[in-house]
Each structure stands twice: as structure tokens, then as C-alpha cells.
């Protein structure tokens, strides 16, 4: 039997990563580079004029109050959506962790929103919140005698897209929380009970700390979800309105690129987003394994 | 005898080969359009008719989403080098298409490329050709044209003690009528609104033209590039003020941005009057018949004591893209010219509710009593024909028109939410539009 000569196979690892590198280069690195270059130019529609403008697009972006507003708005949106969404999902996951008859059916039902497309989800909520024939207002009117201007008032429209986004991502969060909950050994709970802890204490002192790796992972994933995937829901439900109340960074980018014919400015926004994602990823790698309680 | 048979057989083979060759490679013309639903079928029928009549040309229609999607897709197709031959672009894309450098003006295509001397360039309705004429020539082929009109429920008028044959003509009448048409229950909640209007920038543009006023300077951008918007002036502000007042007094339903909410409210009887495109005449008439009420239509109302202007043609037109071989351009012209023939125009109009764009089609509809039997189609038509000729009703040319519309829509939303007064919101909008114009114009200096 011949000895494995690793030195003569120095090409093998490179050959092995070539397929994924090709995909990454063509679909990720190359477009990223392109948008960086694009952000240094002002381009006329259909590319008939291309004018080098240095960092003007970035200057314009950061002196534009509407962009700063939309950054701030996005931050608020992300914070509320993640806090609300994760809390809600955790509560539901605890219920779904019970040993009930037909629990699989309930679990499937809660996962469905994640499986449908954002467009369908958005349309569904538009339908429910419709000022003319919406079910939500009908029920509110029937029970409490008032109606809410859901999509025509800036504040409520903002709430509406938060609700829709939380609902949409709920399935994903519940699945991970469920997996996390089920990996906590029963023995821990039993010993806590023997020591006389009540259910709140158990939840607070045992469940939450032991779930923290899952929670941390979900926070990172949810940031990415809410920043990027909110687009579909916003486009269908509010188109960034009323009066820009739901115009988040990703929607503004889309609009500058595809409606306002400003590819340079849109590219600059995508570079800014890229840096934000890099920061989040850095935190994920840096603190993903520390400061979080693993078993 | 055998020789003759042989000869016959041979010539038959020859003929068959040739005709097969002729059928094998017809010239393919890609036609991108934004017609959906029922209008998609009508468009495809027109294409089928053309293909049946032209063995050597095959037009391939392709729905490319909304008007905005179509424009975006055309842009990326041009960049990647597989642009369609003909593309349907909405009216507000006119300036950007003229500037694009990728189109061939339809007049150049017909006169010089296809050398078609039989085509009558005067056949289009004046308001239609006025809109699409830039720098003295027709740039795109008028196709689907519409304007806004006031729709109202005649039965609701009777119920409220109003004369169903005397629709509101002025802003103050509109308000008065809406008040009378509004029904509240004992809790004070509105059960039926007098009026509704979707937040769509187009309505502001039309209302400005209806007061014979300009939307932007340089004669609506027709004498030179527009550099300044007039959104902060009386005609636009006045309309937004009326809008705000009526919503605040709860005699008008605010269904939010876009078309669907308002349409739904009117069709379900939640609102008694609305303004919508004439392209809806057929749809609304059918709905009225099915729901058992009588539909009325009227011209757009104007502020009291203001000179009447008129409406601007809306809808879309067909553009030919230059970067194709001569024979394909000729085939594209063949198709475009086919669409303007009387039979196609009449079919298009009766099926969709969009205007026929040629005079002869209108004449034929007059003669066969179509208008007499369909008075609501007549309203739409008369309003267009009675519009005063001039830059205000010719429509504005703005390179960043899609953006301008959104700015206007945002301003209306600010007003309706009460975060800004109509004057403030429109001043803010005007400033944003000016900046957008400056930015766009600087690209073409």
C-alpha cells in the first residue's frame, strides 16, 4: 500500500473549493465589487451617460435627511421587531413544547407563515387591515366600537408592518426555540423543582440562560431578516408610505435604483448596508461563542 | 407523359421547399407590454391577428409586469444586449425614453427606415399626438390612452335628494354633494362616504391641467428642460386643500395610496362618487349592472371661477428600440402600423375602455351608435375633445416623473395625516422636485 503523499496533492484542496469559489465570485464578490464601483459614478438611465463623481454619492447620502431618517427608522423597526418577535415566539414555543395530542399539527400551523412568500403574506395583511372591508377593523369596531386607520396613518402603518414581519418570521423562531427547549435535559428541571423553584423562577433562571445560544443565533438571523426581507412586505403593504413612515433603508435603496433611476446613489446605499452586515457578522463570530451560556 | 409527371413532381417539391423555407424563419419581433388580466387577453388577440395575416413575421408578446417593472426590465435588457423590439412605456416615461438614446422615433422609423409613404400621420386624435410629440416629431406610437373622469352612483343621488342628472361641476359643489351623500349611523360613524379618491399623483397633475395651469416651467418642459416645479402654486395647493378638508370632515374616504382601495370602496357602495381612469368605464358599467344601480359619469370638477383647461392624456405608448437589423425594424413598423388600423382600434376600445387613438375609429363608433348606447363612454371622450389646446393639457415632460409622482403622493399623505399644512407639504414637494430635476438635467449637460 502506497503511503499518502500529501505534498504531491497540494492542489487537491484548491480543486475542491473551486466550485463554491466560482459561485461566490460570480454571484457575490463580483457584484459587490461592481456596486462599489457603481457607487463612484452618476449614471443616466439606460447608461447613456456615466459621470465619475468620486465620493459624492456618499456625501449626498449622509447629508440627506430622508436617508438618515430611514436609517433611524430601520433601527427602531429592527429593535422592536426582534424584541417583540423573539418574546412572542419564545412564549409560543413553550406552549408548543407541551406533550399534547396532535401537537405536531399545531407546530405545523405555526410554521406556515414562514413558508409562504412575503408577497402573499403582505397581501394577506392588506386584506385584513383594509380600511373598507378589513376583518381587523370589523372586529375592533364590534368589540370596542372604534376603528384604526391601519395603513393610512404613519404610526399605525409602522405598527402594521412590524406585526406582519413578526408574524412572518415567527415560524422560524419557534422551530429554533423548540429545538433549544428540547435540548434542555429534564433532569435540570427536576432538580430545580426538588429545590422548590416555582415555574417563573425555572423559566427565568434555567430556561432563558440555557437557551441563550439559540437566542443569540436568532437575534443575528432576525437582524438580517428584518433588514432585508421586510422589503416584500413593505412593497405590498405600504410602499414605504404613508409619508415615508415605513420607508426603511432596503426599500429606499430599491426605490432609488428602480424608480428614481439613481444607480450610483443606490449602489452607495448597498455598500453602506454591506458594512453594517460586516459589523453584525463580526459580532457574531467574535461573541458568538463567548458571553453566551453554552452547556 | 412520364416526363411531364416528373416535371410536375419536381416543381411541386421545389415550391414546397420554398414555401417551407419562407415559413421556417419568420422574423421574430419581441413585444414587451404591461397589460394584465383582461387587457392581456385583448393584447394577445391583436397580436394573434397580426401573426395570422403576416406569414413572414412573428410578434411574440411578453407581459413584463407593471409599467414601472417594464421600464426597469427594458433598462437591464438594453444593458445586457437583448432588448426587445417594441416596448410599452407609460406616458410619464416619455422624457426618459427620449433621453435614453436607445429608441428610434416612430416617425423616423415609418418614414425613413420602412419608407412607408402610405401611412397617414394625421390620423391620430390631436390631444393624443400632442402628448407624444416631442421636438416636433412623434416619438412613440400612441396605444392605450385614458383620462380621469368623475364616476357617481345615480341611485345614491336620488336617495339623497340630488338630481342624478346634475353632477357636481365645481370644487364647492363636489363638497356640498359629498356632504349630502354621506350617511352616518346613530353613533356618528360613517356608513357611506360621499366621495373617495386613491392617493395617486396622476390626479394632482390632471387637476392642475383642468385649471389650465402648468405643472413645471418652460411650458411644461415642452420648450426646454423643466427646471422648476409649480406644485407649490395655487392650482395644485387648492386641490390638496380640498382633499384634506373633505377627509377631515369625513365626507370623503381616504383609502390610502394606489388605485385598489378607492375602487373597492366605490364598487361596494361605501362611497357614492369617485374619480378614476376612463379605462374603467367598461368595468364599472358592468359592475353597476350586476349590482343593480345606475352609473353616472361627469367631467372633472374645477375650482369655482377658474378658467377651464382640460385633461391630459394618460396611459401608455409603444416605443421602438433602435439597435436591431433593418429588416426587423421594418417588421416592427409593420406591427405598429397594423395596431393603428381602424379595425384594431375599434376592437381595442370596445374591449378595454381605453380610447381609440385614431379619428377614423371614433367616426366609426359614432356612426354605429356606440356612443349613443354607451353615454358613459361619451363623457370620457367629450371631456378629452373639449380640453383646451395648450401646454397645460399637452402634459408635462419630466425626466424623473415616476419619482415626482411619489413625492407628490408623500406630500398628500403628510397633509392628510395633519403633519403639514397643504401649503407646507406642497412647498416641500416642490423643493424636492426641483432638486430631482436639477440632478437629472445635470446628467445631460
CATH assignment at residue B222: 3.40.190.10
Render pLDDT for B365-390 as a digit per residue (tens, 0 to 9): 888 898 888 888 888 888 988 999 89
Do B55 and B163 fall within a single domain? no
Cβ–Cβ of A258/B444 closer than 8 Å? no
Render pLDDT for B118-164 as a digit per residue (tens, 0 to 9): 999 999 998 898 899 988 899 999 999 999 999 999 999 999 999 99
Closest chain B residue by Cα to residue A154? B417
Do B197 and B300 fall within a single domain? yes
More confident residue, A54 or B10: A54
Do B241 and B137 fall within a single domain? no
Map out the domains of chain A with their CATH numbers. Answer: 56-287 (1.10.3720.10)
Do B292 and B438 fall within a single domain? yes
Let me know if residue B70 belongs to a domain.
yes
Q: Say if strands A41-43 and A50-52 run parallel, antiparallel, or are unpaired.
A: antiparallel
Distance in angstroms (rounded) separating the CA atoms of residues B293 and B269 = 10
- As a whole number of angstroms, the longest Cα–Cα distance in chain A is 86
User: pLDDT band at residue A295, thresholds of 50, 70 and 90?
Assistant: very low
Instruction: Name which of B99, B264, B414 is nearest A133 (Cβ-Cβ).
Output: B264
A127, A152, A257, B36 from B267: Cα distances, Å: 16, 20, 36, 20
Domain closes at, from B324, B357, B373: B373
Do B235 and B163 fall within a single domain? yes
Distance in angstroms (rounded) separating the CA atoms of residues B206 and B213 = 10
Half-sphere exposure of A151 (CA within 13 A, CB side): 31
Mean pLDDT of A142-167: 89
Instruction: Name which of A42, A46, A154 is nearest B100 (Cβ-Cβ).
Output: A46
The fraction of chain B above a pLDDT of 90, given in percent, is 72
The 3-state secondary structure of A130-165, one letter per residue: CCCCCHHHHHHHHHHCCCCCCCCCHHHHHHHHHHHH
Do B174 and B36 fall within a single domain? no
Are A36 and A271 in contact, with CB atoms under 8 Å apart? Answer: yes
Is the bond preceding residue B16 a cis peptide, omega within 30 degrees?
Answer: no
Instruction: Name which of A44, A132, A241 is nearest B443 (Cβ-Cβ).
Output: A44
Residue of A70, A73, A243, A7 lying closest to B256 (CA atoms): A243
CA B359 to chain CA mean position, Å: 18
CA B146 to chain CA mean position, Å: 4
For B169, residues 6+ apart whose C-beta sits below 8 A from its C-beta are: B298, B299, B301, B302
Let me know if residue B69 belongs to a domain.
yes
Let me know if residue B140 belongs to a domain.
yes
Do B85 and B222 fall within a single domain? no
Per-residue model confidence (pLDDT) at position B18: 52
Distance in angstroms (rounded) separating the CA atoms of residues B126 and B380 = 15
- Chain A residues in contact with B408 (beta carbon < 8 A): none
Whole-number CA gyration radius for chain B: 25
Is the entire prediction scored with pTM above 0.80? yes
How is residue A258 written as a grid cell?
428602480
> Which CB contacts under 8 angstroms, 24+ apart, belong to B323-329?
B323/B78, B323/B83, B323/B102, B324/B83, B324/B85, B326/B113, B327/B27, B328/B27, B328/B29, B328/B85, B329/B85, B329/B104, B329/B109, B329/B113, B329/B114
SS3 call for B389:
coil
Instruction: Name which of A47, A241, A259 is nearest B413 (Cβ-Cβ).
Output: A241
Mean pLDDT of B339-344: 93
> Mean pLDDT over all residues of chain A?
87
Cβ–Cβ of B417/A154 closer than 8 Å? yes
Collect all residues from B whose CB is shorter than 8 A from any CB in A.
68, 72, 75, 78-79, 96, 99-102, 187, 189, 199, 253-258, 261, 264-265, 268, 270, 399-400, 402-403, 406, 409-411, 413-414, 416-417, 419, 436, 439-440, 443-444
Per-residue model confidence (pLDDT) at position B136: 85
- Chain B residues in contact with A47 (beta carbon < 8 A): 75, 78-79
Cβ–Cβ of B100/A153 closer than 8 Å? no
To test the contact with chain B by mutation, choose from A70, A134, A243, A255 the residue with the greatest count of B C-beta atoms within 10 A, namely A243
pLDDT at residue B8 is higher than 70:
no
pLDDT at residue B398 is higher than 50:
yes
- Chain A residues in contact with B440 (beta carbon < 8 A): 261
More confident residue, B81 or A73: A73
Do B268 and B366 fall within a single domain? no
Cβ–Cβ of A255/B258 closer than 8 Å? no
> For chain B, how many structural domains are there in total?
2
SS3 call for B266:
helix
Do B138 and B27 fall within a single domain? yes
Per-residue model confidence (pLDDT) at position A281: 85
- Chain B residues in contact with A153 (beta carbon < 8 A): 417
- Chain B residues in contact with A67 (beta carbon < 8 A): none
User: pLDDT band at residue B431, thresholds of 50, 70 and 90?
Assistant: very high
Task: Using the CB atoms, write b or e for B164-173: b if 16+ within 10 Å.
Answer: beebbbebee
Identify the bridge partners of residue B317 per DSSP, sorted by sequence position: B89, B142
Let me know if residue B384 belongs to a domain.
no
Render pLDDT for A4-35 as a digit per residue (tens, 0 to 9): 666 667 888 889 999 999 999 999 899 999 99
More confident residue, A47 or B100: B100
Per-residue model confidence (pLDDT) at position B7: 60
Domain that holds residue B45: 2-146+314-373
Per-residue model confidence (pLDDT) at position A287: 74
Identify the bridge partners of residue B104 per DSSP, sorted by sequence position: B320
Do B338 and B280 fall within a single domain? no
Are B141 and B317 in contact, with CB atoms under 8 Å apart? Answer: yes
Per-residue model confidence (pLDDT) at position A5: 64
Half-sphere exposure of B15 (CA within 13 A, CB side): 6
Render pLDDT for B206-218 as a digit per residue (tens, 0 to 9): 999 999 999 999 9
For A216-230, the DSSP string reads HHHHHHHHHIIIIIH
SS3 call for B127:
helix
Instruction: Name which of B101, B265, B414 is nearest A48 (Cβ-Cβ).
Output: B101
* Chain A residues 68-97 with CB within 8 Å of chain B: none
Let me know if residue B232 belongs to a domain.
yes
Render pLDDT for B76-87 as a digit per residue (tens, 0 to 9): 899 888 899 999
Do B219 and B349 fall within a single domain? no
* Chain A residues 5-44 with CB within 8 Å of chain B: 42, 44
To test the contact with chain B by mutation, choose from A242, A252, A262 the residue with the greatest count of B C-beta atoms within 10 A, namely A242
Render pLDDT for A120-147 as a digit per residue (tens, 0 to 9): 999 999 889 886 678 888 888 888 878 8
Per-residue model confidence (pLDDT) at position B17: 54
More confident residue, A202 or B425: B425
Element (H, E) at B86: strand B86-90
Let me know if residue B383 belongs to a domain.
no
To test the contact with chain B by mutation, choose from A46, A130, A150 the residue with the greatest count of B C-beta atoms within 10 A, namely A46
SS3 call for B275:
strand
Instruction: Name which of A133, A243, A255 is nearest B413 (Cβ-Cβ).
Output: A243
A241 in contact with B at a CB cutoff of 8 Å? yes
Let me know if residue B387 belongs to a domain.
no
Do B303 and B159 fall within a single domain? yes
The fraction of chain A above a pLDDT of 70, given in percent, is 94
pLDDT at residue B23 is higher than 80:
no
Amino acid at each position: 500500500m502506497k503511503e499518502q503523499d500529501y505534498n504531491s496533492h497540494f492542489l487537491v484542496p484548491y480543486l475542491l473549493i473551486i466550485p463554491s469559489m466560482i459561485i461566490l465570485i460570480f454571484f457575490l464578490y463580483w457584484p459587490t465589487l461592481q456596486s462599489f464601483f457603481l457607487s463612484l459614478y452618476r449614471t443616466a438611465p439606460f447608461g447613456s451617460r456615466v459621470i465619475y463623481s468620486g465620493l459624492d454619492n456618499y456625501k449626498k447620502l449622509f447629508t440627506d435627511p430622508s436617508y438618515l431618517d430611514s436609517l433611524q427608522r430601520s433601527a427602531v423597526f429592527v429593535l422592536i421587531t426582534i424584541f417583540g418577535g423573539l418574546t412572542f415566539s419564545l412564549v409560543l414555543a413553550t406552549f408548543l413544547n407541551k406533550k399534547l395530542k396532535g401537537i405536531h399539527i399545531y407546530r405545523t400551523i405555526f410554521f406556515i407563515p414562514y413558508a409562504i412568500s412575503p408577497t402573499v403574506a403582505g397581501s394577506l395583511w392588506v386584506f385584513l387591515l383594509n380600511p373598507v372591508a378589513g376583518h381587523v377593523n370589523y372586529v375592533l369596531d364590534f368589540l370596542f366600537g372604534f376603528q384604526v386607520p391601519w395603513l393610512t396613518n404613519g404610526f399605525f402603518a409602522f405598527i402594521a408592518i412590524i406585526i406582519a414581519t413578526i408574524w412572518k418570521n415567527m415560524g422560524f423562531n419557534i422551530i429554533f426555540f423548540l429545538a433549544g427547549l428540547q435540548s434542555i435535559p429534564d433532569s435540570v428541571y427536576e432538580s430545580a423543582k426538588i429545590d422548590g423553584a416555582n415555574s417563573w423562577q425555572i423559566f427565568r433562571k434555567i430556561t432563558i440562560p440555557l437557551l441563550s445560544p439559540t437566542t443569540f443565533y436568532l437575534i443575528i438571523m432576525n437582524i438580517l431578516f428584518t433588514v432585508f426581507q421586510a422589503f416584500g412586505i413593505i412593497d405590498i403593504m405600504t410602499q414605504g408610505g404613508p409619508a415615508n413612515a415605513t420607508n426603511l433603508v432596503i426599500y429606499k435603496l430599491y426605490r432609488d435604483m428602480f424608480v428614481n433611476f439613481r444607480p450610483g446613489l443606490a449602489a452607495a446605499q448597498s455598500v453602506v448596508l454591506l458594512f453594517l452586515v460586516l459589523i453584525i457578522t463580526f459580532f457574531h463570530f467574535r461573541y458568538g461563542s463567548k458571553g453566551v451560556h453554552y452547556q | 407523359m412520364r416526363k411531364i409527371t416528373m416535371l410536375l413532381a419536381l416543381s411541386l417539391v421545389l415550391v414546397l421547399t420554398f414555401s417551407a423555407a419562407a415559413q421556417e424563419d419568420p422574423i421574430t419581433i419581441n413585444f414587451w407590454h404591461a397589460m394584465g388580466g383582461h387587457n392581456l387577453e385583448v393584447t394577445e388577440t391583436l397580436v394573434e391577428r397580426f401573426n395570422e395575416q403576416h406569414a413572414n413575421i412573428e410578434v411574440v408578446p411578453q407581459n413584463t409586469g407593471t409599467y414601472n417593472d417594464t421600464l426597469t426590465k427594458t433598462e437591464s435588457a438594453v444593458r445586457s444586449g437583448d432588448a426587445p423590439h417594441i416596448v410599452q412605456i407609460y406616458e410619464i416615461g416619455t422624457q426618459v425614453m427620449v433621453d435614453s438614446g436607445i429608441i428610434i422615433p416612430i416617425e423616423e422609423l415609418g418614414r425613413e427606415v420602412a419608407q412607408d409613404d402610405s401611412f397617414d400621420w394625421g390620423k391620430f386624435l390631436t390631444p393624443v399626438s400632442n402628448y407624444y410629440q416631442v421636438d416636433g416629431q412623434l416619438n412613440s406610437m400612441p396605444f392605450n390612452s385614458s383620462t380621469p373622469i368623475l364616476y357617481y352612483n345615480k341611485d345614491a343621488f336620488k336617495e339623497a335628494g340630488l338630481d342624478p342628472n346634475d353632477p357636481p361641476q365645481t370644487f364647492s359643489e363636489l363638497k356640498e354633494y359629498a356632504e349630502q351623500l354621506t350617511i352616518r349611523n346613530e353613533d356618528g360613524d360613517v356608513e357611506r362616504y360621499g366621495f373617495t379618491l386613491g392617493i395617486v399623483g396622476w390626479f394632482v397633475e390632471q387637476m392642475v391641467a383642468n385649471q389650465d395651469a402648468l405643472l413645471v416651467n418652460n411650458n411644461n418642459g415642452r420648450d426646454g428642460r423643466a427646471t422648476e416645479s409649480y406644485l407649490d402654486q395655487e392650482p395644485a395647493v387648492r386641490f390638496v386643500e380640498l382633499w384634506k378638508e373633505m377627509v377631515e370632515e369625513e365626507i370623503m374616504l381616504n383609502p390610502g395610496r394606489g388605485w385598489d382601495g378607492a375602487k373597492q370602496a366605490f364598487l361596494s357602495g361605501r362611497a357614492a362618487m369617485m374619480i378614476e381612469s376612463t379605462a374603467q368605464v367598461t368595468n364599472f358599467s358592468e359592475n353597476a349592472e350586476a349590482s343593480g344601480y345606475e352609473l353616472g359619469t361627469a367631467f372633472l370638477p374645477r375650482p369655482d371661477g377658474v378658467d377651464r383647461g382640460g385633461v391630459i392624456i394618460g396611459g401608455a405608448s409603444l416605443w421602438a428600440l433602435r439597435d436591431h437589423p433593418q429588416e426587423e425594424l421594418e417588421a416592427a413598423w409593420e406591427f405598429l402600423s397594423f395596431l393603428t388600423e381602424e379595425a384594431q382600434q375599434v376592437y381595442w376600445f370596445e374591449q378595454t375602455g381605453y380610447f381609440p387613438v385614431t379619428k377614423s375609429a371614433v367616426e366609426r363608433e359614432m356612426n354605429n351608435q356606440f356612443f349613443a348606447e354607451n353615454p358613459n363612454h361619451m363623457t370620457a371622450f367629450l371631456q378629452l375633445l373639449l380640453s383646451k389646446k395648450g401646454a397645460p393639457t399637452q402634459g408635462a415632460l419630466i425626466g424623473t416623473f415616476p419619482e415626482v409622482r411619489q413625492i407628490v403622493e408623500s406630500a398628500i399623505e403628510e397633509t392628510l395625516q395633519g403633519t403639514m399644512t397643504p401649503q407646507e407639504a406642497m412647498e416641500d414637494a416642490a423643493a424636492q422636485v426641483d432638486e430631482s430635476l436639477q440632478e437629472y438635467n445635470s446628467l445631460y449637460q
